[in-house]
Chain A
């Protein structure tokens, strides 16, 4: 029983960051119809920026977090403008190939710059875990969870309460009509990609101090983000949030009760099963009809 409670708590904490990772990806797919293979690298980028400013330059932990996210946003905007804007209107396979190319370039650049040795980041949080009756959790994870939830809420507010969010939603519904109504599609795309990238960088910056930072950390993150997004239905933000928690739950339970070696395989099996029975994801809205 205590073990189950611990797993559920872990699910909650892990699910928050997974949701954060998924939202950025699903947003980009939903609005731009681009499968962003660089998502994992932006995640790794966030973690490395955290390492660079906090550990190499010795800046304040919290300030570094903000810097890492801002740089993630900037890098995302740069990728969008240089690689995706010229390919506007190209089919989805073409942009996928370009994004795969960018992924490889980014990952190996990280490897070149930071070497393959894992880096760890110190945090200002106490080492002793927070004990809640039978279960415990480290303070840094609590912090990560809280920030992740705040970021998810912030993204929701941005999409539902701002003018930019309105333009994004209009583009999501129907790009051509939105353009006719005077929405600046190029700006919406760049903003979307930058926002999605910022969320990925934030996830990396938050999890970097929890785990260690390695050049290949982005691979698994990207694949997991795909899993989350597929679970929720591509382009569905609420779906991605729930998908994040489902993936965390399946992984925790799989690792706890089946085999820890297959922890990461659980998510992929889940994707394949979900797609077999519900090809549009668990929470897909009805496709256009009529």
Chain B
């Protein structure tokens, strides 16, 4: 399928496998036949013009949509047919294209909500107020502080999520997703709307996320970011994969250039269609 041989991460096992996935909405084909894999520890970018089916791919992987055809596996478990929270339970956590945080909760609470999966106490134990509930709550709070510091928004802890400046809201989104302890993190246009300085700092954050052994699948329009952080790039157009390979090769691929039709994949010139 891909025009360029896959040279990155050749020895690692695939963790996420997307096999012949198609999504139809009535007569509309959002994803025609999608086939790709993400390997352990990789950063893979999914790019393509608007309407290419990138967000649909995210929705299918994370259980928000059911594919019309095909199968998705994560570390051997079939994801197709699972509900979003069950997918998250397997360690696959996503962010949303449109900024999505808990607006009326504080930043700290946002993280605590994200840490839901890290708690194990049942409702009964909570009602009885057992000591382990308190111990767990204390542990969750410590973890929340750690995550806020990791992402760099600790000083905002007591502000409302919805009151943060835009760039920090996007960081908060990532922090909430990280709180769910993903082993595969799906980021949907995390730097859209950020200024160049914020984008650069986000790229450094991504490197640190990666250092935590979190595999990343990224949907992004900012080509500087895509080319700077990705091990591999998968290019979607009209619901089909038209190219796949390392960033350098993708930049030269004539079919990719044609798909972007003058927008140019090189550098920051890639504007949103």
Report the minimum CB–CB distance from B103 to chain A (whole Å): 13
Chain B residues near A286: list those with CB within 8 A: 26
Contacting residues of chain A (232-290) with chain B, CB-CB under 8 angstroms: 286, 289-290
Residues of chain A from 186 to 204 with CB closer than 8 A to chain B in the complex: none
The CA of A289 and the CA of B27, in the complex, are separated in Å by 11
- B18-53 interface (Cβ within 8 A of A): 25-26, 28, 30
Counting contact residues on chain A (CB < 8 A from B), the size range is under 10
* Complex alpha-carbon distance, A272 and B25, angstroms: 28
CB distance from A185 to the nearest CB of B (A): 23
Chain A residues positioned under 8 Å from B30 (CB to CB) = 290
B25-83, CB < 8 A from A: 25-26, 28, 30
Least CB distance from B12 to A in Å reads: 35
How far is it, in angstroms, between the C-alpha of A156 and the C-alpha of B147 when the chains are bound?
Answer: 58
Q: Give the chain B neighbours of A289 by CB distance below 8 A.
A: 25-26, 28
CA distance A94 to B25 in the complex (A): 32
Complex formed: what's the CA distance from A55 to B30 in Å? 64
Roughly how many angstroms separate A289 CA and B24 CA in the complex, as a whole number?
10
Q: How far is the CA of A225 from the CA of B30 in the complex (A)?
A: 38
Task: Give the complex CA separation of A286 and B26 in angstroms.
Answer: 9
Whole-angstrom CA separation of A290 from B28 in the bound complex: 8
Bound-state CA distance A290–B30 (Å) is 7
- Please report the C-alpha to C-alpha distance between residue A145 and residue B37 in the assembled complex, in whole angstroms: 64
Q: Give every chain A residue within 8 A of B25 (Cβ-Cβ).
A: 289-290
Closest to A286 in B: B26
Q: Residues on B close to A: CB < 8 A?
A: 25-26, 28, 30
Please list the residues of chain A having a beta carbon within 8 angstroms of any beta carbon in chain B: 286, 289-290
Could you jot down 7 A-B contacts, CB within 8 Å? A286-B26, A289-B25, A289-B26, A289-B28, A290-B25, A290-B28, A290-B30
